[in-house]
Structure 1
């Protein structure tokens, strides 16, 4: 009992001591001062009230500029306005700030604005914004030098202008120098603040494709807009990922996308509709991809017709039009009435002369074409220009080979049709070849139609389908396995 009493007495004494210390902090201690954060408000967007979440602005692809009017106030740890006279750097997430403007001359410099008396009012020009987007303000210790002054900025004058014990001099060695024109080597408080989100729509598949040869969102993590009226449908399940088409974008094109999954995606099949799709966007040699995708498949409803659209039939004019082909990148396409190039074989070509079994421009035998070699480079270029020549090295490396109607030409890949041997059918006609359209920026023949399954190759040779099937039926198979490499891991 005595030991327990001593413990309770000790605890009471400790509690009393703590209470005394806390009382001292609140009454006799110095109050916390300085800037703790910034209050940021976007007051107008393009001259109007900010959009609501129910009616967001379209995703900005980076080809237009929006203007946000804002107000920034410095706040102390108690949330009161702090008398901060300094510069903050502005950014938007996601997106990019082009520049900042203010009514008072010299207040805004590049992406920075000066607060006077703890307040700044101005406008920021932004682009490539999408989804819920916030305006950020941060004190990075940047003091832009007077551009009309004669003295060199402190961060590029060759002297140590801050603490005596600091041996680091100027930008970029001194961490207190934000840029070379920074007029102080002292670092900032790194206090920051963000606005409420400004409502933009998530990017559609067409926005990610960008309406051109490259995506505007390279290396960004993106959630694709799959909500109505968008209808994102799986058109191909491949060994390294899957292809989708947004049916809402069929009139304008650029509405197809490849999701690079490294292996066959689990529990997916052609005809599935995705109600969630996200990943990192990048360009792989001119081919727009969504890498490391996350996705959710909408519940299947019995009796629902397969929504996969019919393929676009390519003619010579379309194949020769780079913009028209970009509109179809990753989409389902078809060529009809073509034949495999007549000169297509493993023997080396000599002096740019090709024969039925002689179209190999790897003259050195090292497994690749050296375009710096006059002989190999000239051979490959001559074969590329010739509709009746399909270069052997490309086929042996990637399975691609050329088909032609006598004037226009394009590459196809039929590795998914295991019983079909293209080399033994050189010069033979193919009634139809359907598949997804892939772009590769190297060489002169940049486009390849990749057959999804035996249904996509129609001819009278072994392995081919006897007739063209509707997209509602072609290559619609059972779902992929939950773990497609279970036997190897």
Structure 2
């Protein structure tokens, strides 16, 4: 046989082998089996058909519970129903699952439901749900032990119950144990599935504030609802962020918010409107704020009316009402006819006795008040109760000092009024102090009015404005720079 003949013979044999292999794959190979995913459908919301995107439900603030009726089916890689008899864990994103219920006893346990024959039907109770929200199901390998089980659950019995080569024992050491009551140390397939979105509205500023002392969306990254009828307006541009008010929430309050930007936001001005606002919601010592904000500005146009609302004038009753003050947190407020505390100075106080230049409760001189020290703690508490005492250590650290009308008292911060020295004007009457209202949970005086600019401080001392200006004009300055850190880059 010639070399060419041997070559053709070899090619023919190779082709035949490949054809046989391909034939085996197509006719004799087994189709893929097992659970690949879960088909999840939310069939009803609060007993009715799921809402449409055009008519979403209001954002759930976490103070109400919604019920979603659902159906779950296990699917194999080919999309067919898989005969899965196991437990899946349910979650809602964004939001929180409270519990799961099913008609058949023992099928639902906590946030989990058992599939039988690859199917589960039940209802899940959810809260703090907003925006397009989905119900998720995941096989995490959890087999909850029954309450009447005589033996301890496998994941808390002190024995290695899974593969011999696995030296890890029980929860939480063994990754196959989802919880201490898991009755198997084998991990799950981690197959998952999600429903189509259930339509809820994005949270408004008032929803983020939550109608109380804390946000219901702590540590949530979210987009704020700025679409009509919402009208989110910039009321202050600060060195570390900006303040906004949603004009649509003026009747109910809780409609103001601080966005912590770490520095002055670029290209922003009081009176601007925000078409987009998003970030991570946090509570900073009782002060609700939006960190790492993203935003789109609809610039204020010269010749049009500035939409910033007039400040709320505080009286003694409002200042003493924690709920009323929470409604105004981060909003524009004003006090009138007050004076700076008369006892306000750097010398240490002795035996809780204060004098014009003697209100420092840092008796040890270490730069801070030790409330575990009987002397320093008692001094600070006595000064807090005294309308005519502004504690010096707090002022030197944060710039806050006390004003009073003789009965009620509140802290103010006028660091933005550079020509005004409060220590040299102790006891001086201030016609009006306007600013944004900030909360700090430490101590008994939790609220501080922070002046935005010299327009906000009205008195007859150097640096003060001569008269109160309308919010349409006060502190409406030039637009901030495109790059506020240009000199340090």
**CA gap 1:212/1:12 in 2 versus in 1, 3 angstroms:** farther
Give the distance between the partners of 2:10 and 2:368, measured in 1 at CA. Answer: 82
| Distance in 2, Cα, partners of 1:479 & 1:87 | 57
| C-alpha separation in 2, matches of 1:237 and 1:7 | 82
Contact 2:171/2:179 (8 A) holds in 1 = yes
* Residues 335-368 of structure 1, C-alpha deviations (whole Å, 9 max, x = no match): 0000001111111111111111111111111111
Q: Give 1:427 shift.
A: 0.5
With over 3 angstroms needed to count, the CA separation of the structure-2 counterparts of 1:374 and 1:51, relative to structure 1, is same
TM-score by length of 2: 0.96
* Deviation of the 1:303 alpha carbon: 3.2
Q: What's the CA shift string for 1:298-357, capped at 9, x where partnerless?
A: 254453211000000000000000010000000000000000011111111111111111
Report the Cα offset of residue 171 of structure 1.
1.2
Change (3 A) 1:84 1:345: same
| Alpha-carbon shift at residue 270 of structure 1 (Å) | 0.3
Q: Distance in 1 between matches of 2:387 and 2:474?
A: 29
Contact 2:300 2:306 in 1 (8 A): no
Change (3 A) 1:190 1:340: same
**CA 1:11–1:432 in 2, change beyond 3 Å: closer, same or farther?**
farther
**In the TM superposition, what is the alpha-carbon distance from 1:135 to its structure 2 partner?**
0.3
Q: Cα gap change, 1:61/1:14 in structure 2, threshold over 3 Å: closer, same or farther?
A: farther
Task: Name the CA distance, whole Å, in 2 between partners of 1:167 and 1:6.
Answer: 58
Question: Whole-Å Cα distance in 1 between the matches of residues 247 and 6 of structure 2?
Answer: 78
* Pair 164,457 (structure 1): closer, same or farther in 2 beyond 3 Å: same
Which blocks of at least 5 consecutive residues in structure 2 are unaligned?
none
Please report how far the alpha carbon of residue 198 of structure 1 lies from its aligned counterpart in structure 2 after TM superposition. Answer: 0.2
Report how many residues are paired. Answer: 489
Structure 2 Cα separation of the partners of residues 192 and 91 of structure 1: 11
Unaligned runs of at least 5 residues, structure 1: none
- Over 4 Å off, 4+ runs: 1-23, 299-302
Q: 1:17 to 1:330 in 2, by over 3 A?
A: farther
After superposition, the Cα gap between the structure-2 partners of 1:2 and 1:345, relative to the gap in structure 1 and judged at 3 Å, is farther
The CA distance in 2 between the partners of 1:205 and 1:53, in whole Å, is 20
Over 3 Å counting, the alpha-carbon distance change for 1:474 and 1:2 in structure 2 is farther
1:394-422: CA deviations, max 9, x gaps?
11111000000011000000000000011
Query: In 2, distance between residues paired with 1:6 and 1:211?
Result: 87
Q: Secondary structure at the match of 1:412?
A: strand
Contact 2:402/2:411 (8 A) holds in 1 = yes
Relative distance call for 1:377 and 1:30 in structure 2 (3 A) is same
Aligned residues: CA RMSD: 2.7
Q: Could you report, residue by residue, the CA deviation over 1:250-276 in whole angstroms, capped at 9, with x for unpaired residues?
A: 000000000000000000000000010
3-state DSSP of counterpart to 1:295:
strand
Using the TM superposition, give the Cα deviation of residue 200 of structure 1 relative to its aligned residue in structure 2, in angstroms: 0.3
Paired residues of 2:62 and 2:128 also in contact (CA < 8 A): yes
Match of 1:136 in 2: 136
Q: 1:266 to 1:15 in 2, by over 3 A?
A: farther
